[in-house]
Structures are given as C-alpha cells and as structure tokens.
Amino acid sequence: MSKVRVRFAPSPTGGLHLGGVRTVLYNYLFAKKHGGDFIVRVEDTDQSRFVKGAEEYIFECLAWCGINADESVIVGGDFAPYRQSERKELYKKYAEQLVAAGQAYYAFDTPEEIETMRENRKAEGNGSLQYDAAVRMKMKNSLSLMPEETKAFLDAGKPYVIRIKVNENESVTFTDLVRGELHFENVNVDDKVLMKADGMPTYHLAVVVDDFLMKITHAFRGEEWLPSAPVHIMLWQHLFGLDNMPKWAHLPLILKPDGNGKLSKRDGDRLGFPVYAMDWTDPKTNEITKGFKELGFLPEAFLNMLAMLGWNPGSEQEIFSLDELVEAFTIERVNKGGAKFDYEKAKWYNHQWIQKLPIANYQKLVKEIFEEKGIEINNSVYFEKILNLVKGRCTLLPDFYEQASFFFRAPINWDIEAVKPKWTSEKKDFFNCFIDKIKQLETFTAETIETLFKELATEKNIKPGELQLPMRIMLVGAKFGPAVFEIAAILEKEETILRIEKALQIFEI
C-alpha cells in the first residue's frame, strides 16, 4: 500500500471554525497513525471571496494547536505550489481533455439565462431546478449549438464556463469510510461548472486534480460535501481512474447547542462562547470575533474536546493528549450523526488539562494575563507556587487572576458582612495576640501557623473555626481561595501581619 497522504483544504475566507479544526485534527490523526503525510492546501479559487490575512491566520491557528503540516504553503514540499490560485494553469488542461472526450462541454449561458431556465422549470412544476441532462439541449452550449456556432462564440471571446456532462442513465456507488456504501442516481446530479468564466477552476475540478497530483490517499471533509461527491467520482473516473481515487470519509457536522443547525459564528456571539480557534479580526469591519485561545483555553484541551465531538475510543477514557489520540484514533469509530457543541463540556476539558499539565506549560500565558492587569511578576518560582496552589479552582486561564491576584495586591475591600455579625472584642484580642506570637515564630509555614493559631484559640477559649473566616477575610478580602494557613505561608510573615493589622482597623466599629 502506498504511503498515506491526507490533506486539509481550507479556503481563506475568514476565521477558522471549530469544525474546520476538527477536520484538521482527524486528518492529522489519521495520517500520523498510519505514518503518513499531512498536507495543507489552500483552496483560494474564488477570488471574490478572498479575505486578506485569512490564510496567515489559519496557519497561526494550526501552530497554536501544535499541528504541523508536512507540506504546505509555509513549509513547501515536493508537490508545490500548495495554493490553488498558483496552480491555475494546471486545471484548464484537464477540463479541455474532458471536453475533447465528450465528458464536458462549453456553456455560454448568462446568469440571467440560467435564472430564466430555473423559473421555467419551476413554472412547469418540475421538482428539479438543475442545469442537467433534462435541459442542457435547450441551453446555449457546445452540445446544443452547431460546432461552427460554438467556434464563433469561442473566437469572439464570448465568456464561457466548462460544465461536466453527467449521463443521466448511470449511477454512482462508492464506499464512504464512515457511512458505508453510498449510491447516487445521476438524474439527480447536475452538470456542475468545472471551469469558471474567469479561468479559475471550481472546487469540484480543483480537488480532483490536486488530490491526484498530490497523491492523496484519503480525503476527509465535512458532510456538506456528500451531495457533490458523485461529481468528484465521475471526474476521477474520466481523468485518473477509480483505482487511483482516494478513499472518502464524510465527517459529521458540529451543530449549535440550542435548536438545530450547523454551528456558526453567530451562535457563539449569541450564546457567549467562542467558535473560532483564535481571535479573528475582520479586515473590513475591524470586528473582532473571540477565539478559544484568547479566552484562556489550552490547545491540548481544545483538541481533546474536538476529538471527542464525533469520535470516541470505545473505552471510558476521555482525556487524551495529541499523541494518545494518534494512537487511539480510528476512522471506523467516527460517528455518523452530527454533534451539538457543549460549551460546558469544553470548559471541563480545559479544567482537566489545567490540572494535568505542569504549570510551566502555561505559566507564561498566565503571567501575561497578570501583567495586562497591572501586576508585574518577577519571581517565577514564587509565582509557580501560587499557581499550583490555586489551579484546582481554575477552568480558564484568566481564572488564575481571579483566584490569585490577592497574593500580589492586599485587599482594599473586605467582605465585612461575613465578619461583622460575629465580631467580638475577644476575637479582636485574639488576633492582636496572634500577631505577637507569629512575630516570634521562626519557621513560618502553613503547619506552624496552623498549630500556633489553634493553640492560641484553645487558650482563648474560642473555636478555631470561628476565627478562620475572619482571618481569611483579612488576608484575601473575600470568601474564596485556598486554605488560609497556606495563604499566610505564601504571603510570608511580614505581609500577613500587615494585612491582619490593616483589617483589624477596618473591622473596628
């Protein structure tokens, strides 16, 4: 068997959608599982939809995910160029070959004429509005025209497209890796445009030609491509032979969490979650669409979550690293039905990965978050210690700021209500004594502080528990965070005393 070669073929028209990343992932996993190559080919055949910066952005997203292409417009490769706009001249030859073989034809119809045809068919009560065998002899093309008329049009430079000639009496059968055997009657497939009037191929021609030229062995794409698969297969049959055709796998869609339908950017805006991998700024409107990365997701979690949306290992394992996914992935276990995106579950994955990964993996990112908020971090050992202490309560990276900023900034507001109702002069006295005692403490650790605290409480005949909450409010300002004595230990003696003294004044009524 020849070497496995798969490709992700994005068109650079905007932000990189969740579903796109999952397609990348499955391609990548399959390739690596089989020791094959993963290729990224840019499908920019529609010049009218070209969006500046979109291509670079897509590669940035892949880099963030840690998925590297073996061949692409960035790294090059033996089958360059990897941008279809730069391969423009290649396609025409194949289209002409099809025309010469009677498998395709020139069509001169204007958009208006096609529109009229559709209106007529609709008026006739026809179920199909396609440009197909039923109408093609009534249209203006090299099949219906006399050869000299066609020649005259061509010579006169009349704009034309090349359409595939679909034989209505035949049918197409093929095996899809996720759906099994599929069958399509040709009557239902239309004479798709292969070459556009501007000389660019359409997707239909370009994928087939490039998949052949690039020796692609397996083609994974979204389910939305299923209806046009027969056209691609016919093209393979005509041009390169079915034996050389890649194996197809049409992946299920990722659906919106509420209601139904394909997940779109709008759903994210509406429901408050990201849909794009990374922040995307529309170059025309400057509108920013939030990405998973910027919201504080770890790539490991993002990929893990995506992998499980439409695939599962058949075991109870849910947490997978990229390498583990490569190992476990099989196309047979990809589901057929679409999956609704669940943001809560996505966050759960991130929480898991925050716990699992060493702090060092994301310390730099968290540091940036702190610095954006005006807290400079200059002791990374100290910082790491803190992050380790609070990570259990963090789901997204910015949560670290919420959970740990008090280590760097003494409280300026105190949850007085949590203390006041039970505040007594005895308690005040306790804390004053406590300060004196800890001043004499030689080793200032969570354990020694706790021992001292409890001994003193017993001595003063106050339940330690009743003092812990006030102590917490003194150090943190509010009712959250790790164990109080851990906090005190990290704050160190001097700062702990300072905060208690300050709070004591505030609690004074």
Partner RNA sequence: GCCGUGUUGGUCAACCGGUUAAGACGCCUCCCUUUCACGGAGGAAUAACGGGUUCGAUUCCCGUACAUGGUACCA
Catalytic sites, residue numbers: 265
Whether the CB-CB separation of 41 and 84 falls below 8 Å is answered with yes
Q: Which stretch binds RNA (CB under 7 A): 238-246, 344-352, 380-388, 404-412?
A: 344-352
Q: Which is nearer to RNA, 114 or 380 (CB)?
A: 114
Among 32, 218, 472, 499, binds RNA (CB under 7 A): 472
Composition of the chain by helix, strand, coil, percent to 5: 50, 10, 35
CA angle 111, 116, 117 (to 5 degrees): 95
Report the relative pairing of strands 247-251 and 218-222 from DSSP bridges: parallel
Q: Which is nearer to RNA, 380 or 402 (CB)?
A: 402
DSSP 168-210: TT-EEEEEETTTEEEEEEGGGS---EEE-TTSPBPHHHHHHHH
266 touching RNA, by CB under 7 A: no
Helix (H) or strand (E) holding 491: helix 484-507
Q: Look up residue 121 and give its two tokens.
A: 């068919």
Instruction: Tell me the closest approach of the beta carbon of residue 444 to RNA, in angstroms.
Output: 19
342 touching RNA, by CB under 7 A: yes
For the chain, how long is the longest CA-to-CA vector?
Answer: 112
- Residues 131-170: x/- map of binding to RNA (CB under 7 A)? x---------------------------x-x---------
255 touching RNA, by CB under 7 A: yes
Instruction: Tell me the closest approach of the beta carbon of residue 152 to RNA, in angstroms.
Output: 17
Q: Which is nearer to RNA, 86 or 185 (CB)?
A: 185
The size of the interface with RNA (CB under 7 A), counted in residues, is 83
DSSP code at position 264? -
SS3 label, residue 254 = strand
Q: Look up residue 179 and give its two tokens.
A: 């759906």
Among 35, 157, 272, 337, binds RNA (CB under 7 A): 337
DSSP 106-174: EE---HHHHHHHHHHHHHTT-S----STTTGGGSSBTTTS-HHHHHHHHHTT---EEEE---TT-EEEE
Q: Which is nearer to RNA, 129 or 497 (CB)?
A: 129
Instruction: Tell me the closest approach of the beta carbon of residue 146 to RNA, in angstroms.
Output: 20
318 touching RNA, by CB under 7 A: yes
- Contacts of RNA in 163-202 (CB under 7 A): 179-180, 182-185, 188, 190, 193, 196-198, 200, 202
Query: What end-to-end distance do the CA atoms of the chain give, in Å?
Result: 83
Among 11, 289, 350, 496, binds RNA (CB under 7 A): 11
Q: Which is nearer to RNA, 269 or 466 (CB)?
A: 466
Q: Which stretch binds RNA (CB under 7 A): 53-61, 72-80, 374-382, 473-481?
A: 473-481
Give me the sign of the Cα torsion angle 115, 121, 123, 127.
Answer: negative
CA distances from 493 to 142, 409, 443, 472 (A): 90, 15, 9, 15
- Contacts of RNA in 49-88 (CB under 7 A): 49
Phi-psi region of 87 (alpha: psi -120 to 50; beta: other; left: phi over 0): alpha
Among 339, 377, 446, 497, binds RNA (CB under 7 A): 339
309 touching RNA, by CB under 7 A: yes
Instruction: Tell me the closest approach of the beta carbon of residue 378 to RNA, in angstroms.
Output: 26
Q: Look up residue 84 and give its two tokens.
A: 């279809």
- Contacts of RNA in 397-436 (CB under 7 A): none
Q: Which stretch binds RNA (CB under 7 A): 270-278, 404-412, 429-437, 480-488?
A: 480-488
- Residues 91-130: x/- map of binding to RNA (CB under 7 A)? ------------------xxx--x---x--------xxxx
- Contacts of RNA in 445-464 (CB under 7 A): 463-464
465 touching RNA, by CB under 7 A: yes
Q: Using CA atoms, how far apart are residues 22 and 28, in angstroms rounded to an integer?
A: 10
- Contacts of RNA in 199-228 (CB under 7 A): 200, 202-203, 223-228
